[in-house]
Amino acid sequence: MFTTLIATLLAGSVLACDVCGSFFGVTPYDNQSGFSIQHRYRLFSKVDVQGQPFFPSGAYRVPQQVSAQHVHGSSSLSKGDFESFKVVELRGKWFVHQRVEINFILPFGMTRSVMGGEMEKINGFGDPTLSVGVHLIRPSDSDIKQRLIAGMGMKFPLGIDDVRMNDGERFHLYMQPGTGTTDVMAYAQYSIGFKRVGGALNGSAKFNGINAYHEQLSPSFTGTANFFYVFRKGNTIILPQVQFYGEYMDGLTISHVKQSDSKMSLAMAGLGCDAYFGQLGVHLSGQLPLIQFESNQTPGASLRAIVGLSWNINQQKFLIN
């Protein structure tokens, strides 16, 4: 038998634009609570520069001495400019009923930027997220296994959103670990499997509040499609995947004024693999851009990569029967 399950909502901190919603994975565990640690890396660099490395100097590891004088989007990009976003998340999932799961995410963000030779680095806790998913369709005993999950969640403004430069000026919202806004999100996932092959379609929408600086991100939308094959031997399960990812956000407004070059419109494709050794899971994923909105003032998406470890609990009892 073979089943699939939605992974927990991702987001919490603004990641230009992982703020747009959720990332959904594929797992063989059915109605199992668990915990995971996930590391996400995202690179934005000058779109028309060929040969830009995925890990340019300073993007992942930063020298001890850095300066911080750049304002996001203040001048045209040049070769070597980039923005990188790293997030480490503690995530948990608990089934209170066979059809109802509660998810939480606690993110810590690390932003790195080089613009015009000036380097910035910002570290801090992002906004936590809490969501509830309902399993509307569960796999039956037929050869074709299907699952449909719908859920809603909320992001709470508990992260850091007031990091300032050396001169006292506040960093741009996209660089902050948190947003300072209370956001509401909705998501749905449909998965289907037949013997060893299957796929999952996911969609999410996020509606963002206004923070103390009168900043507000427009409603944002994310969609993913995963197609996978299942290898199983004993307690070992390996799921190689072909992945597609898309996101859209119209941009940022400050005091109801739309900010130029703040739009995000992007489609990406890549490969991934989930491997399970008993209750332990290892998760790898990477996507490159296919099509995106381009600007001379802001970096374009270059890479989106995820590495994670999970521990699944063999849950037998539920709070609600």
Domain residue ranges of the chain, discontinuous segments joined by +: 18-56+68-312
How many whole angstroms separate alpha carbon 301 and alpha carbon 291?
A: 10
Which pLDDT value is given to residue 195?
85
Which pLDDT value is given to residue 143?
80
Which pLDDT value is given to residue 293?
74
Alpha carbon dihedral 225, 231, 233, 235, in 10-degree steps, equals -10
Which pLDDT value is given to residue 43?
85
Query: For residue 176, what are the CA distances in angstroms to 10, 133, 162, 225, 262?
Result: 17, 28, 7, 29, 15
Which pLDDT value is given to residue 223?
93
Domain at 18-56+68-312: CATH code: 2.40.128.130
Instruction: Tell me the average pLDDT of the chain.
Output: 80
Contact 200, 181 (CB under 8 A): no
Which pLDDT value is given to residue 303?
85
pLDDT in tens, 202-220: 999 999 999 999 999 999 9
- Specify the pairing of strand 129-137 against strand 183-194: unpaired
Instruction: Mark the ranges of the chain whose per-residue pLDDT is less than 70.
Output: 1-31, 46-80, 115-117, 294-299
Q: What is the DSSP letter of 235?
A: T
Full-prediction pTM beyond 0.75?
A: yes
